[in-house]
Amino acid sequence: MFLHGTSRQNERGHLEIGGIDVLSLAERYGTPLYIYDVALIRERARKFQKAFQEADLKAQVAYASKAFSSVAMIQLAEEEGLSLDVVSGGELFTAIKAGFPPERIHFHGNNKSPEELEMALQHKIGCIVLDNFHEIAITEELCKRAGQTVDVLLRITPGVEAHTHDYITTGQEDSKFGFDLHNGQVEQAIEQVLQSQAFELLGVHCHIGSQIFDTAGFVLAADKIFEKLAEWRETYSFIPSVLNLGGGFGIRYTKEDEPLPADVYVGKIIEAVKANAEHFGFDIPEIWIEPGRSLVGDAGTTLYTIGSQKQVPGIRKYVAIDGGMSDNIRPALYEAKYEASVANRMNAGRDDTVSIAGKCCESGDMLIWDLEVPEVRDGDVLAVFCTGAYGYSMANNYNRIPRPAVVFVEDGEAQLVIQRESYEDIVKLDLPLKSKVKQS
């Protein structure tokens, strides 16, 4: 079993993260429980930043907070000197509550509401990434009312398709995101933005997909964008100061995954930007990237308590846990795969094969198929690895199941950063029926 970061098997045969036996965390905070290895998050953030620093280039590494957003996580990003990518009013509000410097916040999204955009302007965030013509018009009107100007990027779809699941590719032409690079939409958007006194156009942004294991897509996207930048320089006298090539850097969920180190992704991006800038006669723009999953994904581990078992003779053995698609919907949503271990018996032989079933009332609530484990017992603790991205952020209350707690661990200390929901929390927004429904 490959363990990430500070995770290890301790002398008791238990899983340990951040210097803490996870069984003590399960006992203290209950299960399901998300555990984050803070040291690993810090390490990943510093590696991305160091790659740019060693190249002596202006850059911003913005944490894509949709992967996991909470006040504590945003404060950790600030401690590490990251910028921040938000995609909703809720993520922006969380960043403001966390005290994150607004000038380092970038606001994405394909349907930002007037209220969300107004919040962004009120807090004078660093950049709005304009996604469509509707948004240009709304933002321009809000700026005029407030007497403000705002720095913007234009999100473009460069026609580059990353090799990943169809549901998480976003750089191809047929996408709900951005202005198409090849049908004249970007040129129309540039004209509108440059002619408006509400905007300062910094440059362009693209995002070609998620869980990407090579660099070819980033290089191809840079090539396509610079070809257009050369045209726009001639047509509009527009020279970008910023080029944002997005995120999507992969992590290792299972032994089949082979992600690249952070410095390799960044090195190839820098190489492509430098080569194109030299070829087309541009100064090297400030490069922005947006790692999310690659900062927090494999830093997260989810603990579950094992409950019922069901043997289907000749077919399979089901082992149920006290969570499921309510705290990790990714397997049901796009067949995401994970590895796991019995956390209280890490050194036991794996002589049984089981399928891990969630407790939600859906036959599709299956977390892992055909997992090799020791013979499991009622009350064992299962640790599912690499759940730090899109676990809690996609968590839900299906079947009115409360969302789990979140704990940060580092150097032998644990800190509760999100409390477990209670049943009272589940019903706190419900309103009673005022009167009996009339009988027909």
**Beta strand 381-385 pairing with 300-312:** antiparallel
**What one-character DSSP code corresponds to residue 82?**
-
126, 103 contact by CB (below 8 A): yes
CA dist 221 and 158 (Å) reads 6
Is 386 considered catalytic here? Answer: no
| Residues ≥6 apart with Cβ < 8 Å to 366 | 331, 332, 355, 356, 357, 358
Catalytic residue among 127, 143, 360, 361: 361
Residue 92 CB-half CA count within 13 A: 26
Say whether 248 counts as a known binding-site residue. yes
| CA distances for 266 relative to 4, 57, 149, 217, angstroms | 21, 11, 32, 13
Angle ∠(383,169,121) on CA atoms, nearest 5: 95
Helix axes 262-280, 38-55, angle to 10 degrees: 30
Angle ∠(178,221,284) on CA atoms, nearest 5: 105
Determine the 3-state secondary structure of 337 from DSSP: coil
Output the DSSP codes for 13-28.
Answer: S-EEETTEEHHHHHHH
Residue 135 in tokens: 């948004």
CA dist 320 and 336 (Å) reads 18
Say whether 267 counts as a known binding-site residue. no
Q: Name residue 273's amino acid.
A: V
What are 189-193's contacts with CB under 8 Å, separation 24+? Answer: 189/130, 189/133, 189/136, 189/154, 190/154, 190/232, 190/236, 190/238, 191/236, 192/133, 192/136, 193/130, 193/136, 193/152, 193/154
Say whether 291 counts as a known binding-site residue. yes
Say whether 36 counts as a known binding-site residue. no
Say whether 167 counts as a known binding-site residue. no
Annotated binding site for substrate: 293, 330, 334, 362, 390
Annotated binding site for pyridoxal 5'-phosphate: 248, 290-293, 390
Q: Which residues are identified as catalytic?
A: 361
Annotated binding site: 248, 290-293, 330, 334, 362, 390
